Every structure is written in structure tokens, then in C-alpha cells.
Amino acid sequence: MKYVIILLLSTTGLEQIKYPLKKSFLEKYPKEYSALACGDQAEEWRLNNTTYYDHKNNDAKQQGNYTKDGKLMIGSLCE
């Protein structure tokens, strides 16, 4: 694995942001556990770039992690 892909949902549809895995994350784990490095980097991105809301616009169904520009983080992939 060499990339982490952040999945965001916006009013225009699904967006993907692709980042190379940081060397500092890859060095934390043996090569066969590179998925853990990818997950750690995705978690760091979530913590630094989103805010969690237990409801949005008075609607509990809109809970989740949102970016400053209103996009909902729906997950991440490792490639």
C-alpha cells in the first residue's frame, strides 16, 4: 500500500482525496501490516480536518464528521 484515499460526500456527489502514505506511519509497522499505517494516517486526517456533529441543522440523521466546507467524511481506503 502506498496511498490513503479519503472519501467525502458533498452536494455534487462522492469526492476522493488521495495522499501518499507518510514515511513516519510506514515505519511504525512491519511491511505486512501497512494497512494499519494507512488507517492511522486516515484517522489523523479525520482528527485534523473534520468536526463531529451529533446532529446538523436540527436533524439527528445528519450526524457525522464534516469538513469546514460542509463535506461529510464517509470513510477511507488504502491503495
Q: What is the pLDDT of residues 14-61, one digit of tens each?
A: 999 999 988 888 888 887 777 788 899 999 999 999 999 998 888 888
Q: What does residue 62 show for φ and ψ, rounded to 5 degrees?
A: -95, 25
The predicted model scores a pTM of 0.85
Q: What does residue 59 show for φ and ψ, rounded to 5 degrees?
A: -125, 110
Inter-residue contact 47 to 41 (CB < 8 Å): no
3-state helix, strand, coil in the chain (%, to 5): 35, 40, 30
pLDDT of residue 7: 98
Provide the residue type at 39 as one letter: G
